[in-house]
Chain A
């Protein structure tokens, strides 16, 4: 039987190099992942490169479409990837406009200035973050304190917030999402800068808003958060209150604009330096009443000023 083995094995050792190379190609496929999507800088006036927040991407697409039907000489290319991705691209000079659902961080601004780019901020609309659960979950309202305790891992069972005896499954966006950072700062830490509470380690980090909606729709144990524009009727929105006495407010255009709904934020676009030419015209249009009407249609909240 030994001789049998020898015959088959003898042709084998060279194969291991081939295996190694094969393995490497798998590894590389993993590493390349989402990194390689950036295009080189294009001359301003040809195409406006617009990239960043996944929260804003649908809105930016709708704007780009509407703007291009009126201005046929302008081409606008819109991609998502997350606020961090957009700002990183702005710093590297590969986009004209970066979309962000959070303010630029001081270190990002410093990195941009080091690269000779001064980011200019525009508030382009507002967004509310809705807390969503499964329709079978009897919970109707939660206070910010309760939501914070759920996500920090203090509460593990729905019974602790007045619900059924079920484990809580926490869903969050990935750490590159502006929504994630906003939620951490404004909800988990309740806006307290000295607080260093983190998400519970067993919080599920899902790569997309759709992933969160899909899991909440299916799983009665789940709690998730998403931009108001992404909430579908298949999930239940929870009313949020600042104190246990209430009032508990559901997110809507009215409650966000009146300031009653507590988890709302501004959405931003950043340009590399003072915008000029086509980019300036596009941003002017975005702040116009016509473009803000589109904001409303997509479930976001228009800015109040003109």
Chain B
């Protein structure tokens, strides 16, 4: 009897630790980032930090705004591509495609998600970039748009896979009920199935955007890495430099403990806070819905 409760004790603790470990790791990472990045706030004058010039090898040219702007342009572009495309694909696979097509499409999409990003970067440099330059008559094909399209392609499999799971989890009786009430198939999909799976779909979108904003290799290869602050939507057709590409390109050469080093970690903190904000927004939306739904239930 004692034996059993002892092993039970160990197992419950282990499982509990596994559960809490994610919180532990996230906070450890944040503490590390904070320790390495916070000196930058003191070392770099604030005016320089919020300047528009990023040229870290000389003077106080540590303006992070062009990098934040670059990341936002590329990520928004990717979201505009990936969200409609991903959701429509998920709806098709979950609701419309016949069984056999579904069994082929789902694994195929998931394989697409496993493509190494460096490979997409090559496609971007050799095929997509030159194509966009000729088709849109741009000065160069290495632009935010090229990066956004490729990031969209990276985010789509994540969105499709998670959103399709969520749609699939909606009980068939809901569809049957809607159809029995005389709703058309389109109405059923749009007004019954999709809202029922809303939180899962939202999770899918957030995961997809998370992948896009954190992606490094592809954007470093295809966006041209010019630290220009985007001032109009036309910036999508110009080269940009993202936060991730900057960290990846410069962290290797930087002297440990220098101002440049601290500033790169500060960019890491900003990146962390941005994705945290995205997640909290999504979580609060889902939470609000849940509270509302519980009220209706009671």
Of B3-11, B79-87, B94-102, B204-212, the stretch lying at the interface with chain A is B204-212
Nearest opposing residue in chain B for A3, CB measure: B297
Distance between Cα atoms of A30 and B29 in the complex (Å): 14
Point out the residues of chain A lying under 8 angstroms from B53, CB to CB: 198, 201
Cβ of A163 under 8 Å from chain B: no
Given contacts A199-B55, A202-B238, 15 further A-B contacts (CB under 8 A): A1-B195, A3-B297, A5-B293, A9-B286, A12-B286, A21-B25, A22-B207, A29-B216, A84-B254, A169-B139, A175-B56, A175-B57, A176-B252, A203-B226, A219-B140
Among A19, A35, A108, the residue within 8 A (CB) of B203 is A19
Question: B133 contacts A219, CB within 8 Å?
Answer: yes
Chain B interface category by residue count: 35 or more
Question: B214 contacts A30, CB within 8 Å?
Answer: yes
Distance between Cα atoms of A219 and B287 in the complex (Å): 51
Distance between Cα atoms of A20 and B170 in the complex (Å): 25
Task: Report the minimum CB–CB distance from A151 to chain B (whole Å).
Answer: 12
B residues near A (Cβ < 8 Å) are 22-23, 25-26, 29, 52-53, 55-59, 61, 66, 125-126, 129-130, 133, 139-142, 166, 169-170, 174, 191-192, 195-200, 203, 206-207, 210-211, 214-216, 220-221, 224-228, 238-239, 241, 244, 247-256, 268, 271-272, 275-276, 279, 282-283, 286-287, 289-290, 292-294, 296-297
Which residues 164-190 in A have Cβ within 8 Å of B in the complex?
166-169, 174-176, 181
Distance between Cα atoms of A92 and B53 in the complex (Å): 30
Distance between Cα atoms of A300 and B196 in the complex (Å): 67
Distance between Cα atoms of A2 and B226 in the complex (Å): 48
Distance between Cα atoms of A2 and B174 in the complex (Å): 12
Among B255, B283, B289, the residue within 8 A (CB) of A91 is B255
Q: Interface residue count for A (Cβ, 8 Å)?
A: 66
- Chain A 15-42 against B: per-residue CB contact (8 Å), 1 yes, 0 no? 1111111111011111101110100000
Among B198, B239, B275, the residue within 8 A (CB) of A23 is B275
Point out the residues of chain A lying under 8 angstroms from B227, CB to CB: 201, 205
Task: Report the minimum CB–CB distance from A17 to chain B (whole Å).
Answer: 5
Cβ of A221 under 8 Å from chain B: yes
Point out the residues of chain B lying under 8 angstroms from A199, CB to CB: 55
Provide a sorted-by-A list of 27 A–B residue pairs whose CB atoms are within 8 angstroms: A1-B195, A2-B293, A3-B293, A5-B198, A6-B294, A7-B196, A8-B196, A8-B198, A8-B199, A19-B207, A19-B279, A24-B25, A24-B26, A29-B216, A30-B215, A31-B247, A33-B249, A33-B252, A35-B251, A81-B253, A88-B256, A176-B57, A181-B57, A202-B239, A205-B226, A207-B220, A207-B221
Cβ of A49 under 8 Å from chain B: no
Among A4, A26, A175, A201, the residue within 8 A (CB) of B226 is A201
The answer to whether residues A12 and B279 also contact, given A33-B251, A203-B226, A204-B225 and a CB cut-off of 8 A, is: no
Question: A23 contacts B214, CB within 8 Å?
Answer: yes
Among A8, A19, A34, A211, the residue within 8 A (CB) of B197 is A8
Point out the residues of chain A lying under 8 angstroms from B22, CB to CB: 17-18, 20-21
Among A24, A26, A81, A174, the residue within 8 A (CB) of B211 is A26
Instruction: Please report whether the interface of chain A is mostly helix, strand, loop or mixed according to DSSP.
Output: helix
Point out the residues of chain B lying under 8 angstroms from A24, CB to CB: 25-26, 29, 272
The answer to whether residues A167 and B203 also contact, given A1-B195, A81-B253 and a CB cut-off of 8 A, is: no
Point out the residues of chain A lying under 8 angstroms from B174, CB to CB: 4
Cβ of A239 under 8 Å from chain B: no
Distance between Cα atoms of A205 and B57 in the complex (Å): 14
Nearest opposing residue in chain A for B229, CB measure: A201
Distance between Cα atoms of A126 and B250 in the complex (Å): 26
Cβ of A302 under 8 Å from chain B: no
Point out the residues of chain A lying under 8 angstroms from B241, CB to CB: 205
Cβ of A10 under 8 Å from chain B: yes
Question: A9 contacts B224, CB within 8 Å?
Answer: no
Point out the residues of chain A lying under 8 angstroms from B271, CB to CB: 27, 30
Cβ of A82 under 8 Å from chain B: yes
Nearest opposing residue in chain A for B133, CB measure: A219
Question: A9 contacts B293, CB within 8 Å?
Answer: yes
4 A-B pairs with the lowest CB-CB distances in the bound complex, closest first? A26-B214, A33-B248, A176-B253, A84-B253
Question: A6 contacts B296, CB within 8 Å?
Answer: yes
Question: B251 contacts A5, CB within 8 Å?
Answer: no
Cβ of A48 under 8 Å from chain B: no
Among B61, B221, B247, B253, the residue within 8 A (CB) of A30 is B247
Point out the residues of chain B lying under 8 angstroms from A219, CB to CB: 130, 133, 140-141
Question: A34 contacts B252, CB within 8 Å?
Answer: yes
Task: Report the minimum CB–CB distance from B173 to chain A (whole Å).
Answer: 10
Chain A CB count within 10 A is highest, among B53, B170, B191, B251, for B251
Point out the residues of chain B lying under 8 angstroms from A196, CB to CB: 59
The answer to whether residues A201 and B66 also contact, given A24-B26, A27-B272 and a CB cut-off of 8 A, is: yes
Point out the residues of chain A lying under 8 angstroms from B216, CB to CB: 29-30, 33
Distance between Cα atoms of A26 and B225 in the complex (Å): 20
Nearest opposing residue in chain B for A52, CB measure: B253
The answer to whether residues A5 and B196 also contact, given A201-B53, A207-B221 and a CB cut-off of 8 A, is: yes
Point out the residues of chain B lying under 8 angstroms from A201, CB to CB: 52-53, 66, 226-228
The answer to whether residues A4 and B192 also contact, given A12-B203, A24-B29, A88-B255 and a CB cut-off of 8 A, is: yes
Distance between Cα atoms of A56 and B288 in the complex (Å): 59
